[in-house]
Amino acid sequence: MTGFESVLDQKQPIRLLRTLLHKKTIPHAFLFTGMEGVGKRTTAAIFAMACNCTGNKDENFLEGGKVPGENNHFKKNKPIQKNDPCGHCRSCRKILSGNHPDIIRIEPSGPFIRIAQIRALYHILSMKPYEARRRVVIISEAQAMNPEAGNALLKILEEPPDQTTLILTAIQTSDLLPTIVSRCHHIRFRPIPPKSIESILIEKQGFAPDAAKILGKMANGSFSKALSMKQSNWVNRRNWLMHCLESFPSMQISSLLAFAEKLSRNKETLSESLELIQSWLRDLIVYRYDSEKIINNDLTENIRQASHSFTVQSLLSKMDAVQTAQKNIQGNTNLNVKLIMEILVMRLADRLC
Output the pLDDT for position 179.
96
Bridge partners (DSSP) of residue 104 are: 137
Output the pLDDT for position 67.
43
Helix (H) or strand (E) holding 103: strand 103-106
Query: Dihedrals φ, ψ of 294, to 5°?
Result: -70, 155
Output the pLDDT for position 60.
37
Length of the chain: 353
For all residues of the chain together, what is the average pLDDT? 87
Q: What is the DSSP string of 124-161?
A: HHTS--SS-SSEEEEETTGGGB-HHHHHHHHHHHHSPP
pLDDT at 76 over 70: no
Name the CATH topology of 232-348. Answer: Zinc Finger, Delta Prime; domain 3 (1.20.272)
pLDDT at 70 over 50: no
Question: If DSSP codes are grouped into helix, strand and coil, which group holds residue 164?
Answer: strand
Mean pLDDT, to the nearest integer, of 119-129? 95
CB 296 within 8 Å of CB 280: yes
pLDDT at 68 over 50: no
CB 53 within 8 Å of CB 188: no
Residues 6+ apart with CB under 8 A from 19: none
Cα dist. 230→194, 196, 208 in Å?
15, 16, 12
Give CATH 3.40.50.300 domain extents, the chain.
4-188
Output the pLDDT for position 189.
96
Exposed/middle/buried for residue 285 (C-beta within 10 Å: 0-12, 13-18, 19+): middle
Question: If DSSP codes are grouped into helix, strand and coil, which group holds residue 169?
Answer: strand
Is 2.60.120.260 the CATH classification of the domain at 4-188? no
Our CA dihedral for 29, 35, 36, 39, rounded to 10 degrees, sits at -60
Residue 233 burial (CB count, 10 A)? 10
What is the Cα–Cα distance from 235 to 241, expressed in whole angstroms? 10
DSSP secondary structure letter of residue 248: G
